[in-house]
Structures are given as structure tokens and as C-alpha cells.
């Protein structure tokens, strides 16, 4: 049930939940969403349900403590409390909240490194980041008033986002029933986004993933350099369509439930630099690290040296957040190096010549995704040798005609992927989504996705691992 593209979710959980949600009187729909989310999570991850509930409850208690001392500060003249003492107590409770949330994440990440990602609670990284942002925003008074326990629990646990985000910030009005927008038009709009995401995931990402499995089965020592580059390009699209598809699906679900559409991707493969690529990729994660790590460390306000230090910390944390193996650390450090080079030297030049910048991105990004994808360092070195045979590999000499075979097999999916990456194509579909032809196409995409899922199996979303 935890897989949005699975038959249990599409034909059991979702229609039943939506019927109950819309039958429920509007003022009780947060309650319906909370109970639906508990059922959703408990079915998919029963062993860690208590951990999630305990985390939600403890975060609420700690947020109350922070808010209590904020209230004391505002009435300090009546209470005769000193400002420094109150500030110290507020800091103490914020530190306690961060130790709880960060500590929980670190412990399970370490366990996952030694015992495999299967030991990680579903959605841990994403709901923990929500909890961290909530506590910091309460402390900063970006959230002016402590919400009710129910509203806070819905924010942490709402089923569209608990698996893999997006990491939506808490905005109090979004969780008040008076501010939500309900209509048949909104329901239809959300369903259209959901189907676009479903097709992106099932018809593109899952099909391109088979190429990666084929290359792995063949063995990296037995593939040519052209096939190695084809595999890197295919994985780049697979990962993008997998997570973009998920993001469209979860944002569509949020629209159906009366929440705003959360934009998590902005066509990153049309970027002109690696820095711009990462501003457009997984935007809510990037904004989390920017607002809660990079800027508090000083951002780029304190000279080049500290800017480089702050970027290093952010990208080390980003790499370690994705996994504890060495390849993720290398991946983070390589991205850090590229972004520093752009920030200090070539960034403006790349923006001035966008064609060169886009070619630069389309060459470098697949290489960085290779570092991300292959966790075994020896296998990673072998694959890099196939990508760059002039450095010491023999990729060109091995099976020189394998590229013809696999282009024939996967060329249509790659061509469709290239087209779907073009921003103008998506904007056209989005703008004309009420046109009968687009509606008919979406109906076809839905049933073709169902057919492919039933007949070929369903791959879990890649970001479930993180």
C-alpha cells in the first residue's frame, strides 16, 4: 500500500479514503486525514508505527516548552523574569528537540550503513526533517502560534508526503479547514497531476531501470564505452522520472485534499550550471539545507573562505544523508568542488553562454549520478574506466556493437524521456490539461500504467531508500 503506483493503493486505499474524506464534514477532515495516514503507515510499516507516534508526541511536548518560554518573554515585566534566563531556557528546549530528531536520524542512518537500508523506518529522513524545521520555526517565531496537536500531527504524518516528501514547511493557515480549497475542479486537477506522475514513474522510470539492470547483469567489465555512457544517461533520466513522478503524484494528492500544489522540481536538465541544477532538483530538500544549515552558518556573507567552508558542510551532510557508504561521500565532495568552481570562477560565464552551460550540465550530471548509483568502490572504478577508456580502461574495445542492440531496445523510452524533459512540453500539457485530447491521453496513460504494473511488476520509488 505504501507504493502510490501499486494496485492496493490505486484501487483500494485511495478511493475509499477520498470517499470518507469528502463525506466527512469539513471541520473534521483533518481528523479523517490523520486517521487515514495512520492506517496508511501502519499497513506499510507496522513495526515502526510506535516510533513515529512517539516522535510526533515528544516533538509536540518540546514545541510547547519553547512556546511557553516565548510567552513568558512577552510578559516578562509582569512575571519579573529576566530576558537572558528565558532565552537560555528556550535554547535548552530547542537543543533537546534537535538532539531528539537529529539523534534519531543519525542512529538509524548508522544502523542502515552496517545492516542495510531495510532497517530504516519508512520516511524517517523526510518526517524528521519536517520536525526539525518545525522546531526551528517555532523558536524563530516564523510560526507565530503553537498549533493544536492534531494539526501538527497531520503536518508530520500526512500520507501523501510521509514516504519521500516533499519537505513542506508548516504554514498554519494551510492546516485550518477555513483556508483549504475544496471543489470538483480541484479534485480533477489533483487527479490529473497524479496520473502524469504515475505515467512518468511507470512508463518511463521503471522501463529505463531495466536497462540499468541489464548492464549490471552483463557486468561492467563486458560493456563498451558507448553503452556505459548510454547507461549513465538512462540512469540520469530514470532517477529524475522516478522522483519527479513521485513528486507529481504526491502534489496531486495534496491538491485533491485541499492543500496547495508543492513544486519540487523545475526541469533541472535545462539548467546552465551544476549550481542551478541543484536549485531546481529536489527543491524542498535544497531549501531545507539552505535555510537550516547554510544560512545559519553564515551563508556567503562572511567572505570566500567561510562560504567555501559552509558549502563543504552542506554537501558533506547531503552526501551522508543519502547514504553512509564511501561513494555518497565522494559524490557530495565532487558536487561541492564543482559548485565552488562555479561560484568563484566560471558561474557567470556559463550563464552568459547558455548553450555551453547546458552541454556542460548534460555531460557532468550523468558522471556524478554514476558516483551516486554504484555503492561498491571497485565496481565504480570499473564503470568509470568504461566511461573514460583513455585513462586506463578498455571500454571501446569490448563488445563494440552492444550499443546498437540496446539502443534498439530502449531507444523509444530514451526518446520519450528526452521529450518529457523539455520544459515547454510539460508547460503545454499543464496549460491545456482541460482539453478533451489531453484528458483522453491521461485516461490512456492511467490504464496503460495499470497494465504495465500488473503485467511487468512494480518497482519501489528510488527515494524510499533514503
Q: Greatest CA span in the chain, whole angstroms?
A: 83
Q: Cβ(322)–Cβ(372) under 8 Å?
A: yes
Residue 432 annotated as catalytic? no
Q: Which of 73, 216, 322, 435 is catalytic?
A: 322
Whole-angstrom distance, CA of residue 452 vs CA of residue 209: 14
Cα(40)–Cα(172) distance, integer angstroms: 24
d(CA 26, CA 55): 28
Measured distance CA(283)–CA(277) in Å, rounded? 10
Query: Annotated catalytic sites, by residue?
Result: 322
Amino acid at each position: 500500500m505504501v507504493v502510490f503506483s501499486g494496485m492496493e493503493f490505486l484501487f483500494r486505499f485511495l478511493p475509499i479514503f477520498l470517499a470518507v474524506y469528502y463525506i466527512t464534514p469539513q471541520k473534521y477532515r483533518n481528523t479523517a486525514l490523520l486517521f487515514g495516514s495512520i492506517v496508511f503507515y501502519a499497513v506499510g510499516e507496522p513495526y515502526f508505527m510506535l516510533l513515529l507516534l512517539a516522535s510526533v508526541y515528544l516533538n509536540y511536548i518540546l514545541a510547547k516548552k519553547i512556546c511557553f518560554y516565548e510567552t513568558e518573554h512577552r510578559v516578562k515585566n509582569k512575571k519579573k523574569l529576566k530576558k537572558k534566563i528565558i532565552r537560555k531556557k528556550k535554547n535548552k528546549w530547542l537543543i533537546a528537540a534537535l538532539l531528539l530528531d537529529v539523534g534519531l536520524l543519525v542512529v538509524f542512518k548508522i544502523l542502515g550503513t552496517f545492516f542495510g537500508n531495510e532497517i530504516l523506518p519508512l520516511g524517517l529522513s523526510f518526517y524528521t526533517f519536517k520536525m526539525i524545521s518545525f522546531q526551528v520555526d517555532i523558536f524563530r517565531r516564523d510560526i507565530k502560534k503553537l498549533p493544536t496537536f492534531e494539526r501538527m500531527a497531520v503536518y508530520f504524518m500526512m500520507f501523501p508526503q510521509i514516504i519521500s516528501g516533499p519537505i513542506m514547511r508548516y504554514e498554519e493557515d494551510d492546516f485550518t479547514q477555513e483556508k483549504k480549497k475544496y471543489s470538483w475542479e480541484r479534485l480533477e486537477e489533483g487527479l490529473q497531476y497524479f496520473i502524469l506522475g504515475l505515467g512518468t514513474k511507470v512508463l518511463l522510470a521503471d522501463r529505463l531501470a531495466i536497462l540499468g539492470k541489464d548492464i549490471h547483469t552483463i557486468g561492467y567489465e563486458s560493456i563498451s564505452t558507448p553503452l556505459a555512457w548510454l547507461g549513465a544517461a538512462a540512469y540520469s533520466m530514470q532517477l529524475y522520472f522516478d522522483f519527479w513522478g513521485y513528486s507529481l503524484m504526491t502534489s496531486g494528492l495534496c491538491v485533491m485534499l485541499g492543500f496547495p500544489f508543492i513544486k519540487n522540481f523545475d526541469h533541472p536538465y535545462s539548467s546552465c550550471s551544476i549550481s542551478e541544477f541543484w536549485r531546481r532538483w529536489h527543491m524542498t530538500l535544497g531549501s531545507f539545507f539552505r535555510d537550516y544549515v547554510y544560512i545559519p552558518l553564515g551563508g556567503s556573507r562572511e567572505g570566500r573562505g567561510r562560504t567555501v567552508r559552509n558549502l563543504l558542510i552542506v554537501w558533506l551532510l547531503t552526501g551522508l544523508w543519502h547514504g553512509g557508504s564511501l561513494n555518497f561521500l565522494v559524490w557530495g565532495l565532487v558536487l561541492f568542488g564543482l559548485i565552488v568552481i562555479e561560484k568563484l570562477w566560471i558561474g557567470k560565464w556559463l550563464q552568459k553562454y547558455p548553450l555551453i552551460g547546458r552541454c556542460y550540465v548534460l555531460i557532468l550530471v550523468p558522471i556524478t549520478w554514476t558516483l551516486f548509483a554504484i555503492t561498491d568502490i571497485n565496481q565504480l572504478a570499473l564503470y568509470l574506466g568504461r566511461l573514460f577508456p583513455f585513462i586506463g580502461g578498455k571500454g571501446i574495445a569490448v563488445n563494440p556493437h552492444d550499443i546498437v542492440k540496446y539502443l534498439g531496445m530502449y531507444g523509444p523510452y530514451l526518446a520519450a524521456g528526452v521529450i518529457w524533459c523539455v520544459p515547454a512540453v510539460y508547460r503545454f500539457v499543464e496549460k491545456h490539461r482541460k482539453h478533451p485530447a489531453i484528458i483522453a491521453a491521461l485516461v490512456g496513460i492511467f490504464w496503460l500504467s495499470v497494465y504495465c504494473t500488473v503485467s511487468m511488476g512494480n518497482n519501489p520509488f528510488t527515494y524510499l531508500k533514503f
